[in-house]
Amino acid sequence: MSDWKLEDFAVPEVPDKDRFHDFALPDPLMRAIAELGYEYCTPIQSKALPFALSDYDVTGQAQTGTGKTAAFLIAALTRFWEEPLQDAPRPGCPRALILAPTRELALQIEGDAKSLSKYMPERTVCVVGGMDFQKQIDKLNKKPVDLLVATPGRLIDFLDRNIVSLKSVEVLVIDEADRMLDMGFIPDVRRIVFQTPHKRQRQTLFFSATFNDDVMRLAQSWTIDAEHIVIEPEHVATDTVEQKFWMIGRDEKDQALRSLCLHEDTERAIIFANRRDQTHRLMKYLRDHNVPCEALAGDIPQRKRLATLNRFKDGDLKYLVATDVAGRGIHVDGVSHVINYELPEDPEDYVHRIGRTGRAGASGVSISFVSEDDAFNLPPIEQYLGIKVDCSMPDIELSAKE
């Protein structure tokens, strides 16, 4: 297929929609975009790409799952294609640095970068904690890296050992800055940013789901006259997600969960619990009652977590039991149900949970169990949603065959 031409990728013009064709992207990049099935830009892509491709700094407010990853990767890859280096760089000296707060997000960005650069010479390496240190060193030393995706702690390990140098960084991407702040990573990020070229000598793309005063101060200190883009999140009570709140006694929740998993309408589901020990207990309970499932929590080895997530993405695993932290890294189309075994303590986590279903235009169902143990978490969720929710009795039979 070396004779691929842009004409082979026909996307009709549609009013009020931008096509990737409209940005004069390199043909090898367009070929990868075509294979990924991308046709029209998401709102964050439409607004960010004109500035990012023109070498402006960008601060973007956008939720996870809105397409911002592709936006900053397309900008960086286009820049490198149009401005190839005259001399081969030393290993460990990336042209782009992408900082992410979690392993799951960093690995997802790495996968997207490799898919988009499939027909380009640019090389991506990901360094994160919880995975084999020596293997990451070997990848860095093997040959030059163009895009380095990293979590702050592991990157500092490599910087302290002089395995990585950031003196040649042309593009700095800071993703999910608000979560960096919440997780206490900002001192590490400051150390890292200080080792890149001055902000006048690099392009900075800064993304965050929220922009409070602290996040805005960070954005202003690390960018120059940035174009600020705000993509308002879709209302959480979207047409694609049907939200249900079931009144269930604490002693009935396990049985209700089992019945729901065995119900024929439940094609693929993520079950959320608030604590790691609860996820393991629920996994054992469901397995004991003929419901195949896996747990996704922070205390599970990274290799197993990745294998589990891949099985779920491929459709080989029907049910995942997850904590909120683990659930943030799940971006899978085709999830029919989100089941909140427990109401989250933070209403924003509720929004992130139900956002795992109803993706890519498909319909989804969110079912939240409300018991005497966690009913006090419901009013903050109602306030955050801006609506009064109706609690009802379960609309399926709570007895299931053993």
CB 81 within 8 A of CB 29: yes
pLDDT, tens digit (0-9, with 9 covering 90-100), for 237-290:
456 788 999 999 989 999 999 998 888 678 889 999 988 899 999 999 999 999
Helix (H) or strand (E) holding 152: helix 152-160
Report the percentage of the chain scoring pLDDT > 90. 52
Q: What is the pLDDT of residue 1?
A: 45
- Residue 331 to residue 329: CA distance in whole angstroms: 6
Higher-confidence residue of 57 and 235: namely 57
Q: Which domains does the chain have, with CATH numbers?
A: 6-230 (3.40.50.300), 241-392 (3.40.50.300)
Mean pLDDT of the chain: 88
Q: Determine contact, residues 219/206, Cβ cutoff 8 Å.
A: yes
CA atoms of 321 and 286, how far apart (whole Å): 10
Burial class (CB in 10 A: 0-12, 13-18, 19+), 26: middle
The pTM (predicted TM-score) of the whole model is: 0.67
